[in-house]
Chains A and B, each alone.
Chain A
Amino acid sequence: MEKFAKAFPSKPLAAKTAKPWALAGVVGSGNLEVLLERGGRPSDTMECHVETSIPGYKASWLAALADFAHNYPAGGTKVTINDQGAPPVLVNLRLRQAYDHLIKGDK
């Protein structure tokens, strides 16, 4: 088990989103859950909290989150990740899915 948090610079999120929060994935063996919420935090940072069952990959997590914050306007959001040993290739997909749901809704 490893827990860490960090905020990354990101362009502000669109003023209007379809939902106030969005969830992608489930907490289960080999999977992970990403919760993305609008909040009152600084509008130019994406605040991230990660809890993972597999320690030792902090650098990869931070690099992936930094890239996401750079590629998508996600400033003013809070990202909470619960990871149960998901393959690394799944992380970005779940982030993108949560973001897509937040902006455009579930359909």
Chain B
Amino acid sequence: MNTAKTTLRRQNKAQRLERVARLARGKFVSPDKVPEVLKRIIEPGDRLCLEGDNQKQADFLANQLATLDKKDMSDIHLVMSCITLPAHIQLFKKGMIRQVDFCYAGPQGTAVADFVKAKMFPVGAIHTYNELYARYYIDLTPRVALIAAAQADRKGNLFLAANTEETPAIVEPTAFSDGIVFAQVNEIVDKLPRIDIPADQVDLVVQAPYPMHLQALFTRDPAAITDVQVLMAMVALRGIYEKYEVQSLNHGVGFNTAAIELLLPTYAERLGLKGKICKYWMVNPLPTMIPAIEAGWVESVFAVGGEVGMERYTAARSDIFFTGRDGSFHSNRAMGQLAGHYAIDMFIGASLQIDVNGNSSTVSKNRITGFGGAPNMGCQPTGRRHPTKAWLKAGAEANPGPGSPPGRKLVVQMVETFQAGRVPTFVEQLDAAEPSIRKALHGVTPVMIYGDDVTHIVTEEGIANLAACRSIAERQAAIRAVAGYTPVGLKRKKRETEELRRRGIVQLPEDVGVRPAEASRSLLAAQDIKGLVRWSNGLYDPPPQFVDW
């Protein structure tokens, strides 16, 4: 008997759509019919993808899904980048989920930690973004995908506006494997500004009664940047950006890197670095980038997502940002992460915990957050072959062996030695190594960035050049040397630290030419959100929670 698989999946898709034919007008479903439609298109055992990353959410569809009962939907393998909404948690509480594969659980990190403690969290793995998107094409292809778009036209073409994010990475593998793509849209119009997803990849559309949730995730108020963060920014600029002539880069989310952005038109300009560093960016449209862009520092910015309030500004700076033919901002999470993996000199970001070997994590015993995109960029891409000045210089320093690439991406962790509430950033062992967490993750410790990938750690104490260390013991000593007065730092030995400093592996602010007396907020190009609006010539529209005037 021939047991080869043929076209059963296509037939099954047709049956599912047939079951909802009477509930819809063509592709279009009215909001009150959505629960019934979901019941009929999802089958037990399905792999179900809910769109939602750390910014954009298909929240109407998720909320409708959460109104179903276990008899309507069960044995579901959930694949989604972010467990973000209370509705997502409901699905677990109702016992509908057989397995979940995801990346990030930001706002629901506490709920996820509670599930892990209760042994009620059937997780396959916590992924990085591109790793999960890649598996959508291999062994985690969605059967049904619930996605979000800004607008649909009458045929079901979709416009994604500034927040394209991960929509194409979900739609393509689903649509091209006879899966069902169901989109919620903010509005249905006669003519779209541009087509981001063609109608023949979309099966069902609902105009949601409320616009999709968009989180302003990357907005940092310059008013909250401290003198210490300014000092660290100065140290990073001189000791890393200037030293390696970093031309292409990604900045993580945080006040440390926001301080660097705001020092470009002031401090770095005075150092004569304009045109030498920070020209090409893979980063979301950060409001704190506005002064550097206006001062002519930036050649181009590609983004994984949009940022609320930056729509008019980015449209008016289309020489720098990628924009559609309608003139408005375009992003793409999968391609942005790919760019950040292969095509940049440096990734620089912060973390909550760093262990004595340089591994970092944002997981604590009571909060399991996962990864997002940092590890896709904060790693050595050994598939890289093209040289740049920074890549070769960092590579030479790392003393490559006969079987190593000649270059190295700069992977920089920039942290204060203590978090708020006097919680040490540096620890002997990560909270993520907790046995119950490792057990839930099938023996994997959820490390954000591996110590072997990190080239530098910057703290308020100075810089540790881990890439230049020649042994594990040396790396540990270099980390202790910049770990300040945390328990990890207090264990350093004066002799060792001095030897590392003599060899330039550990550098104090003064060693890279930074004058601590200058480390003051007054160096920032903008002092607050209002200052950013001014720099933007009124084109930046900060979200209400950031407006106090």
Bound together, the chains give a CA A97 to CA B86 distance in angstroms of 47
- Per-residue contact bits, chain A 19-63, to B (CB 8 Å; 1 contact, 0 not): 000001000000000000000000000000000000001011001
Task: Give the number of residues in A that approach B within 8 Å (Cβ atoms).
Answer: 20
Interface residues in B204-252 (C-beta closer than 8 Å to A): 226-228, 231
Q: Which of A59, A63, A88 contacts B418 (CB 8 A)?
A: A88
Bound together, the chains give a CA A71 to CA B231 distance in angstroms of 18
- Per-residue contact bits, chain A 54-90, to B (CB 8 Å; 1 contact, 0 not): 0001011001100000110000000000000001111
Q: Is A93 within 8 A of B516, CB to CB?
A: yes
- Interchain Cβ contacts within 8 Å, total number: 52
Q: Is A90 within 8 A of B227, CB to CB?
A: yes
Q: Which of A63, A70, A96, A97 contacts B490 (CB 8 A)?
A: A63
Q: Is B417 within 8 A of A89, CB to CB?
A: yes
Q: Which residues of A contact B231 (CB under 8 A)?
A: 93
Bound together, the chains give a CA A15 to CA B481 distance in angstroms of 30
Bound together, the chains give a CA A100 to CA B516 distance in angstroms of 7
Q: Is B485 within 8 A of A90, CB to CB?
A: no
Residue of B nearest to A104 (CB): B517
- Per-residue contact bits, chain B 312-339, to A (CB 8 Å; 1 contact, 0 not): 0000000000000000000000000000
Residue of A nearest to B517 (CB): A100
Q: Is B485 within 8 A of A60, CB to CB?
A: yes
Interface residues in B473-505 (C-beta closer than 8 Å to A): 484-485, 490, 494
Interface size classification for chain B: 20 to 34
Chain A: minimal CB distance from B380 (Å): 29
Q: Which of A64, A93, A96, A97 contacts B485 (CB 8 A)?
A: A64
Q: Is A89 within 8 A of B418, CB to CB?
A: yes
Chain B: minimal CB distance from A97 (Å): 5
Q: Which residues of B contact A24 (CB under 8 A)?
A: 517
Q: Is A96 within 8 A of B418, CB to CB?
A: no
Bound together, the chains give a CA A92 to CA B417 distance in angstroms of 12
Q: Is B519 within 8 A of A93, CB to CB?
A: yes
> If the complex has contacts A87-B422, A88-B484, are A93 and B515 also in contact, measured as CB distance less than 8 A?
no
Bound together, the chains give a CA A96 to CA B520 distance in angstroms of 13
Q: Is there a chain A Cβ closer than 8 Å to B416's Cβ? A: yes
Q: Is there a chain A Cβ closer than 8 Å to B541's Cβ? A: no
> If the complex has contacts A63-B490, A100-B515, A100-B517, are A89 and B484 also in contact, measured as CB distance less than 8 A?
yes
Bound together, the chains give a CA A100 to CA B514 distance in angstroms of 11
Chain B: minimal CB distance from A40 (Å): 26
Q: Which of A88, A100, A106 contacts B422 (CB 8 A)?
A: A88
Q: Is there a chain A Cβ closer than 8 Å to B59's Cβ? A: no
Q: Which residues of A contact B53 (CB under 8 A)?
A: none
Chain B: minimal CB distance from A44 (Å): 18
Residue of B nearest to A31 (CB): B227
Residue of B nearest to A98 (CB): B517
Q: Which residues of A contact B418 (CB under 8 A)?
A: 87-89
Q: Which residues of A contact B289 (CB under 8 A)?
A: none
Q: Is B508 within 8 A of A89, CB to CB?
A: no
Residue of A nearest to B420 (CB): A87
Residue of A nearest to B421 (CB): A87
Q: Is there a chain A Cβ closer than 8 Å to B101's Cβ? A: no
Q: Is there a chain A Cβ closer than 8 Å to B345's Cβ? A: no
Q: Which residues of B contact A96 (CB under 8 A)?
A: 509, 516-517
Q: Is B516 within 8 A of A88, CB to CB?
A: no
Bound together, the chains give a CA A106 to CA B485 distance in angstroms of 28
Chain B: minimal CB distance from A10 (Å): 14
Residue among B226, B228, B459 having the largest count of chain A Cβ atoms under 10 Å: B228
Q: Which residues of A contact B484 (CB under 8 A)?
A: 64, 88-89, 92
Q: Is B228 within 8 A of A87, CB to CB?
A: yes
Q: Is A92 within 8 A of B517, CB to CB?
A: no
Bound together, the chains give a CA A24 to CA B418 distance in angstroms of 21
Bound together, the chains give a CA A57 to CA B422 distance in angstroms of 10
Bound together, the chains give a CA A87 to CA B459 distance in angstroms of 14
Chain A: minimal CB distance from B37 (Å): 53
Residue of B nearest to A66 (CB): B494
- Per-residue contact bits, chain B 451-473, to A (CB 8 Å; 1 contact, 0 not): 00000000111000000000000
Chain B: minimal CB distance from A19 (Å): 12
Residue of A nearest to B424 (CB): A88
Bound together, the chains give a CA A81 to CA B461 distance in angstroms of 19
Q: Is B519 within 8 A of A97, CB to CB?
A: yes
Q: Which residues of B contact A92 (CB under 8 A)?
A: 460-461, 484
Residue of B nearest to A87 (CB): B418
> If the complex has contacts A64-B485, A96-B516, are A90 and B228 also in contact, measured as CB distance less than 8 A?
yes
Bound together, the chains give a CA A64 to CA B317 distance in angstroms of 47
Q: Is B228 within 8 A of A97, CB to CB?
A: no
Residue of A nearest to B515 (CB): A100
Bound together, the chains give a CA A45 to CA B459 distance in angstroms of 28
Bound together, the chains give a CA A90 to CA B519 distance in angstroms of 11
Q: Which residues of B contact A97 (CB under 8 A)?
A: 516-517, 519
Q: Which residues of A contact B485 (CB under 8 A)?
A: 60, 63-64, 88
Residue of B nearest to A25 (CB): B227
Q: Which residues of B contact A106 (CB under 8 A)?
A: 517
Q: Which residues of A contact B490 (CB under 8 A)?
A: 59-60, 63
Subset of 12 A-B contacts with CB under 8 Å: A59-B490, A60-B490, A63-B485, A87-B418, A87-B420, A89-B459, A90-B227, A90-B228, A92-B461, A96-B517, A97-B519, A106-B517
A87-B422, A93-B516 known; 11 new pairs, CB 8 Å cut-off, are: A24-B517, A63-B490, A64-B485, A70-B494, A87-B418, A88-B422, A89-B418, A92-B460, A93-B228, A100-B515, A104-B517
* 7 A-B pairs closest in CB distance: A100-B517, A96-B516, A60-B485, A89-B416, A89-B460, A97-B517, A88-B418
